[in-house]
Structure 1
Amino acid sequence: MKSSAVTIKELSFLSGYSISTVSKALNNKHEISKGTRETIKTIAKQHNYVPNNYAVSLRMQKTGSIAVIVPEVTKACYSHSLCHLQKSAESFGYRILFYQSFYSNTKELKCIKSLSDGSIDGIIVVSSENKENGQYVNDSFPVELLHVNSSQSVEEINNLSYTSLINVLKG
């Protein structure tokens, strides 16, 4: 995995300020003078500094990512749901990570277990089956079960998808 061109530690060395000061300046903390913030931000921009999303997620205890598990992306009702979930999630500043279960409950549960590493804020399991939400209970993040099928209109699928997303975001 390739990292950004420069780290906070390297920015500290380049600017002559402590790592703590660099971090505070990049995060617009007001205890750092405007001049110092501008100097550090200029150096960061010159060196293509990109914040480490994993470090930010740890600090904020929020990843900005929602996983969506669908049985199969090629089925129209699931692709409509996935499309609407992504558009809605982006409007809230979230991104979607999408997985296919290929109609396997075992695969769904395996995905949920593997995502329990703190890499996401919630999961939406899309299914046409009448499943119990209890089988997906997880202490690390909310898991929402979204029932959609081919007999539903696109508008109904969109409404159900939006409601599921809101439920996950509420936690």
Structure 2
Amino acid sequence: MVLKPDVLARAIDHASENDSRPRLLMSPRGKPLTQKRVRELANGSGIIIVCGRFEGVDQRVIDGRDLEEVSIGDYILSGGEPAALILLDAIVRILPGVMGNDLSGLHESFEGGLLEHPHYTRPQIWEDREIPAILTSGNHAAIAKWQREQAEQLTRERRPDLLGKKAEK
């Protein structure tokens, strides 16, 4: 099933009347969604999200309404709605006041081009696995260094593709 161009175009026109908000189409053939793009969208004046279903959207609407195709990954969903929820969650969580502490998101995966370091909590020992001693040392500089090293190591092991992007930030 392909969404009819006349019906969808009218809906887009109505939603975007007299404004220049980005018009996004959730699509597996779109540009991959990145944290950088999420920040750009969060700092804007809003967005319009179009979701296809099954076969998607008539290409004439994509071209005629200048829809920016956005992908959340290399897999197929039955519709764009789950992808839109992911996009919205990524945007909303970085809006001021949403997380309580606006600095909370600065050290998470993809911020600074790295995956996030491992996290630990009490108890000190659980199933014979101990929290790394450095984390309970009270030496904040050493802890920050350890966290950075762990983030770099995890990124090298699991997402080396991010390391080249790190320099772009």
Give the TM-score band, short-chain normalised.
under 0.3
